[in-house]
Amino acid sequence: MGHPERRILGGMTHTSVSAYAAPAPKAPLERITIPRRELGAHDILIDIKYAGICHSDIHTVRAEWGDDGAFPIVPGHEIAGVVAEVGAEVTRYRAGDRVGVGCFVDSCRECANCLAGLEQYCTGELGNVGTYNATGRDGETTYGGYSTHIVVDENYALRIPESIPLDAAAPLLCAGITLYSPLAHWQAGPGKKVAVVGLGGLGHMGVKIAHAMGAEVTVLSQSLRKKDDGLRLGADHYYATSDPATFEELAGTFDLIVNTVSANLDLNAYLGLLRTDGTLVQLGAPENPLPVAAFALIPQRKSIAGSMIGGIQETQEMLDFCGEHGLTADIEVITADRINEAYERVMASDVRYRFVIDTATI
């Protein structure tokens, strides 16, 4: 790793750093060198310590959301590290601070959503600028957290509470906020029955956060294989969706269902588990459309909704909530040469519950 090497690239000064990238759709990830911009006045240079592997990284490099990827793609939007240097006008951070970066690194800062702290739904020309596989306002391609360093505007970084170790904090930057935001928005709390579908990276954080918010939590997993884990993580109940009796027993039960599954499910069966006025929030982003029958919604005034990560202020709120409640991700730390193996295991639902790359090995 060492200290990043400075050089001139395309007329601008850049720093070369090591990273892992997918060179082409579905190709294995391999080590490469990428440029990071010189520090602007409001930028911070982060020495990345850990980067989580989100299923969205896998959808992206496998071109499952369309083949418009800017390959080589350096994935990683669950970034935890330490500030190494700050730009001249930075006020929020100092060298040595523990920080995180999530799914986006910029937005227009002017639209109604940005002004309301909903930067993830920025309606500006570029929308939110993804941490990787996106084009920044400077016209440059963004590269994510499977890397030793990143340069980010201080307004798009988050402070990681001292009580959370950096490795177990990284997954909060996507999996944590993706569950915290809808659970808060649909008011998971005492007296509410919440179902979490899929006990993977997102799902396991959903169980922990919904439980900490005071809701009665049920896991709906493909099998009972992870039942002990689910109950330990904070679930009150655990059911296998492979058993048709589950759908009869739980009919009309839940106020809120958060679906974290990365593959297509029969949503109509899950809508049957909602009570009157209940909402199913779709968080998983499978490749293909999810057909919904009108009569799965109409008779009990049910809703189906979507939700995407969270804004900067809400992400900080989530980190502070996790710090106060002692919530961290359950992780398996891996060396960078095991990224491709980890991808295979995530695709096989064989993850407990987030792989995190030790970036010192990149």
Rule CB under 6 A: is residue 56 a binding residue for ligand NAP?
yes
Q: How far is the CB of 183 from Zn ion (least distance, A)?
A: 16
3-class DSSP assignment, residue 255: strand
Nearest Cα neighbor of 210 from 239, 240, 178, 242 is: 178
Q: Is 124 a residue that touches Zn ion (CB under 5 A)?
A: yes
How far apart are CB 77 and ligand NAP at their closest, in Å? 8
Piece of the chain touching ligand NAP by CB under 6 A; list 93-101, 121-129, 193-201, 331-339: 193-201
Residue 89 Cβ vs ligand NAP, minimum distance, rounded to whole Å: 31
Q: Are 226 and 352 in contact (CB under 8 A)?
A: yes
Q: Shortest distance, CB of residue 55 to ligand NAP, whole angstroms?
A: 3
Q: Collapsing DSSP states into helix, strand and coil, what is residue 117?
A: coil
Q: Which residue is nearest to ligand NAP (CB)?
A: 200
- Answer yes or no whether residue 357 interacts with Zn ion by CB under 5 A: no
Task: Write out the two tokens for 47.
Answer: 């020495």
346 binds ligand NAP (CB under 6 A): yes
Helix or strand run (H / E) with residue 168: helix 166-169
> Is 173 a residue that touches ligand NAP (CB under 6 A)?
no
Binding mask 230-269 for Zn ion (x = CB under 5 A): ----------------------------------------
**CA dihedral sign of residues 166, 132, 30, 96:** negative
- Matching residue, tokens 């340069």: 151
CB-neighbour burial class of residue 117 (10 A; exposed 0-12, middle 13-18, buried 19+): middle
- Residue 77 tokens read as 């939007």
In angstroms, rounded to a whole number, what is the distance separating the alpha carbons of residues 327 and 209? 8
Q: Is 202 in the site for ligand NAP (CB under 6 A)?
A: yes
Q: Which residue from 195, 212, 261, 357 is in contact with ligand NAP, where contact means CB under 6 A?
A: 261
Nearer to Zn ion, 129 or 215 (CB): 129
Give the residue among 169, 181, 43, 180 at the shortest CA–CA distance from 118.
Answer: 181
What is the CB neighbour count within 10 angstroms for residue 11?
5
Q: From its phi and psi, is residue 277 left (phi > 0), alpha (psi between -120 and 50) or beta? A: left
Interacting span for Zn ion (CB under 5 A) from 13-21, 61-69, 118-126, 182-190:
118-126
Summarize as ranges the residues that interact with Zn ion (CB under 5 A).
Answer: 54, 56, 107-108, 111, 114, 122, 124, 174
What residues line the site for ligand NAP (CB under 6 A)?
54-56, 59, 174, 178, 198-203, 221-222, 260-263, 265, 283-285, 307-309, 346, 349, 351
